[in-house]
Amino acid sequence: MTDPERWTEWNLRRASVVRIYECGERLVALGPDGEGHALTGDSAALASAVLAFLAMPRSGAEVLAHVEALAGAPIERPEVIGELLALLRRTGALEAVTTGPSRAGRTAGPRVVVGLTGAAATMHAPALIQRLQARGFEVRAAVTESALRFVRVEALEALTHAPVVTAIWPESQVHRVPHIELAQWADAVLVCPASATTIARLATGDHASAVAAIALATRAPVLVVPSMNPAMYAEPAVQRNLAQLIADGLHVAHPARALEVADPPAMRTPMLGGAPPPEVVVQLLEAIVRERASAGLAQAPRGAEGWDRLYRTHAPAELPWQHDEADADLLAAVEREGATGLSVLEVGTGLGALAVALASRGHTVVATDISAAALAQARARAPTSRAIWLSDDITATRLQGRFDAAIDRACLHLLAPAEAERHAAAMARLVAPGGALIVKTLAEPAAGVTPYAKETIAGPFAPAFTLEREAASTLPGPTAAPAARLFVLRRASE
């Protein structure tokens, strides 16, 4: 815990979930172990006031000032406030807040389709969906007919704000194939709980239910979470089907000990076969998504959907090229063109660090990326920036107008030769005569990378551009800064 002697410097807020109840003049806060800490009279009223004030993050000094304002006089023993804050922290009612850059709003994370079946654990689906959403997943739901005995479509749609797929060919969706649409949309499919019947469908390639059809048709990882009576789980046929799923490359969760609802309540004892708790299922799914995402970094994706998936499934610190500060040599190269007031195009802006830095210096910046997911994160990370964020593919650009300078940080070296030629043609049209094209590429060969050198950079861009300057550089990322080359090309007069 933070040094209690410096409680006025603590940054705290009320925890999302507190174990507190009030009755009469008593306030009781339960610790994580269930032990109760009772406050009465003025102490209880003070605790309530402090908790209400800390709905937003505040320092200990701000709490003291707030209490003194409520009392209308200085507090004779301010250490009492520190002792109260320490108690509320021990019980988990308050949590420390780490200072850092704020983010306005949330952006979509990995997309998961939750498939619900006729297992009794489907009654816990709303809690599972809420836990997934709290962890940043964007959730859609599909159900089998028997799942609707345990959960209502209206409840699922209220949580996901999206239609629930209940059949392969819904009467109201004649022109859509929802199970294929969701199979393509998903970054992961979670069949939880998975009944013995759905497990059999998956093992034999039976697409008769919407849940099985989505799980079989997707190319995303699939996590199957069995949930059934222990006698059913132990059946040789069920075990053969589970072994087949594992052999087919699906992920199968091990069961938990759970209560069998078929037994009378007084007779229930934990037995192997039930689905793990929602928090454990979410942890398993996160590990699977991370594993798939890490494998995806070995080769740069192709197309907008591939880049969107990459940005949805990776934290910024996992992206090798992502750096929260703009590259100093790129800023210096723009500075040589003009200290302020330039019109600047950045292609492949990613999470927007360079665009934000240039806009803060008074330049008019149009920052483009092929990934809408990256642009959404860039906007959220810098909500007050004057940079203009646009979805665009420079190899098939729809942009118009002329720019004083254009910047490409780590895009050109990912393009095939034909794409590089279209990139160069677009730059010849978009950079004003006499303007600068500033390009940074990796200097060493790597998977999916075409490194450029002084002798090769001019090729795609001639005769519209001439190489004016080149220098050794690096491409800073979260953990490394591989060798790179910085090129400044000058647009010829027309």
Q: What is the mean pLDDT of residues 230-245?
A: 95
Collapse the DSSP code of 444 into the 3-class scheme (helix H, G, I; strand E, B; otherwise coil) and give the result: coil
Hey, what are 470's tokens?
């080149």
* Tokens, residue 93: 């009612």
Tokens of 201: 């469908």
- Which residue, chain included where needed, has tokens 């990934």? 371
CA 180 to chain centre: 24
Distance CA 358, CA 404 (A): 13
In this predicted structure, which of 116-130, 330-344, 439-453 has the lowest mean pLDDT?
439-453
- Indicate if the pLDDT at residue 294 is higher than 90: no
What local confidence, expressed as pLDDT, does residue 297 receive? 67
Domains of the chain, start order: 4-96 (3.90.930.70), 111-296 (3.40.50.1950), 318-491 (3.40.50.150)
3-state SS assignment for residue 398: coil
CA 410 to chain CA centroid, Å, is 23
Q: Outline where DSSP puts E strands in 422-464.
A: 431-442
Residue closest to 404 by CA, chosen among 335, 332, 473, 485: 335
Residues in the chain: 494
Determine the pLDDT at residue 168. Answer: 84
The CA distance from 228 to 196, in Å, is: 7
Report the alpha-carbon distance of residue 43 to residue 27 in Å, rounded.
Answer: 9
Model pLDDT for residues 206-236, shown as the tens digit of each residue: 999 999 999 999 999 999 999 998 889 999 9
Q: Are 77 and 71 in contact (CB under 8 A)?
A: no
Has residue 2 got a pLDDT over 60? no
State residue 274's pLDDT score. Answer: 84
pLDDT of res. 302: 81
Residue 185, classified by CB atoms within 10 Å of its CB into exposed (0-12), middle (13-18) or buried (19+), is: middle
Looking only at the bridges linking them, the beta strands covering 20-23 and 11-14 are unpaired
CA distance 261 to 280: 21
Between these two residues, 471 and 100, which has the higher pLDDT value? 471
Tens of pLDDT, residue by residue over 351-375, are: 999 999 999 999 999 999 999 999 9
181 with 140: CB under 8 angstroms?
A: no
Q: How far apart (Å, rounded) are the C-alpha atoms in residues 270 and 284? A: 22
Average pLDDT over residues 308-332: 92
| Mean pLDDT along residues 200-211 | 96
Long-range contacts of 388-392 (CB under 8 A, 24+ apart): 388/364, 389/349, 389/352, 389/355, 390/366, 391/304, 392/347, 392/368
> What local confidence, expressed as pLDDT, does residue 308 receive?
92
Measured over the CA atoms of residue 351, residue 353, residue 354 and residue 357, the dihedral's sign is positive
More confident residue, 171 or 134: 134
347 SS3 class: strand
Contacts of 369 (CB under 8 A, 6+ apart): 307, 347, 348, 349, 350, 375, 378, 389, 391, 392
pLDDT of 3 > 70? The answer is no
Per-residue pLDDT at 490 exceeds 90: yes
* Under 8 Å between Cβ of 7 and 85: yes
Average pLDDT over residues 465-475: 96
Residue 467's SS3 state is strand
The pLDDT value recorded for residue 104 is 43
| Coil, strand or helix at 201 | helix
Compute the C-alpha angle 291/293/299, nearest 5°: 120
pLDDT tens digits for range 258-272: 767 777 787 777 777
pLDDT at residue number 298: 67
Q: Are 466 and 489 in contact (CB under 8 A)?
A: yes
Q: Are 357 and 378 in contact (CB under 8 A)?
A: no
DSSP string, 212-244: HHHHHH-SS-EEEEE---HHHHH-HHHHHHHHH
